Amino acid sequence: PKAQSLAGVRLMLTAGPTREALDPVRFISNHSSGKMGFALAAAAAELGAEVTLVSGPVSLATPAGVRRLDVESAAQMHGVVMDHIDTQQIFIACAAVADYAPKTVASHKIKKTSADTMVIELTKNPDIVANVAALPNKPFTVGFAAETRDVEKYARDKLSRKKLDMIVANNVAKAGQGFNADDNALSVFWPEGQTDLPLAGKTELARHLLTLIAEKYHDTH
Ligand code: C5P
């Protein structure tokens, strides 16, 4: 088979934001559109992989040939990933997972009071990609880093701290790329090297990134 083919390889991705409920009608979330993760899922399917896409709430169509599992919260995303990870050979964590969730979810809508301030207590969510990379039989694990400064320093730190095989950094501070944009530019780091993927549409960029991931995966398997 061609070096960059992923025929028969089982690949799981997370994509989109998570929603952390405060009460039945409110949640904490972020601006992730899921575009990059969905483009990566499509590119992986094109390379022949058996793709499972674990997605937070997004308004995007499921790419052709991709199995999609929808979740809302980080805890649900963690549960679904862990339920299926055993059989996966590559894991790509593209989701913008909320770092914290409200400690308690009110069972009824929280009422406005006469007080001018309100305190919400938060607890840390599980780090999905770090938990996957800590598995004894871990898949080739790729994480993302959305940094606004010192991109390489923070990306390399995350690579080693979370025991990832590769990390993909985008500079979210630059206009027209990153969150919710159609174009993106990426810097990719792995333990022995790095490369830049210049500004391009997310579809094209996803193909370049998946080819690189396939290459590095085959180098080590
Ligand atoms: O530590 P930070 O959130 O910046 O790391 C980003 C990377 O970790 C992304 O790949 C993201 O999908 C993943 N992540 C995760 N679970 C979390 C937080 C981040 O999988 N709870």
Q: What is the CATH number of the domain that holds 95?
A: 3.40.50.10300
For ligand 1, pick from 28, 85, 129 the residue to mutate: most ligand atoms within 8 Å of CB: 129
pLDDT given at position 220: 87
Q: What residue's CA is closest to ligand 1, atom 5?
A: 145
Please state, for a pLDDT cut of 70, what percent of the chain lies above it: 94
Residue 170: count of CB within 10 angstroms of its CB: 23
Residues 117 and 197 sit within 8 Å (Cβ to Cβ): no
Average pLDDT over residues 71-84: 98
Name the average pLDDT for the chain: 93
> What domain range includes position 158?
10-102+118-220
Q: Of the candidates 216, 50, 68, which has an alpha carbon nearest to the alpha carbon of residue 142?
A: 216
Residue 137 inside a domain? The answer is yes
Residue 195 inside a domain? The answer is yes
Residue 40 inside a domain? The answer is yes
Residue 182: count of CB within 10 angstroms of its CB: 13
Residue 200 inside a domain? The answer is yes
**pTM of model > 0.90:** yes
Q: Which residue type does 99 have?
A: D
Confidence of residue 1 (pLDDT cuts 50, 70, 90): very low
Residue 96 inside a domain? The answer is yes
Residue 148 inside a domain? The answer is yes
The two tokens of residue 216 are 């590095």
Q: How many domains does the chain have?
A: 1
Residues 161 and 180 sit within 8 Å (Cβ to Cβ): no
Q: What residue's CA is closest to ligand 1, atom 9?
A: 144
Residue 168 inside a domain? The answer is yes
pLDDT given at position 173: 60
The angle at the Cα of 95, spanning 94 to 98, to the nearest 5 degrees, equals 145
Residue 4 inside a domain? The answer is no
Average pLDDT over residues 42-68: 98
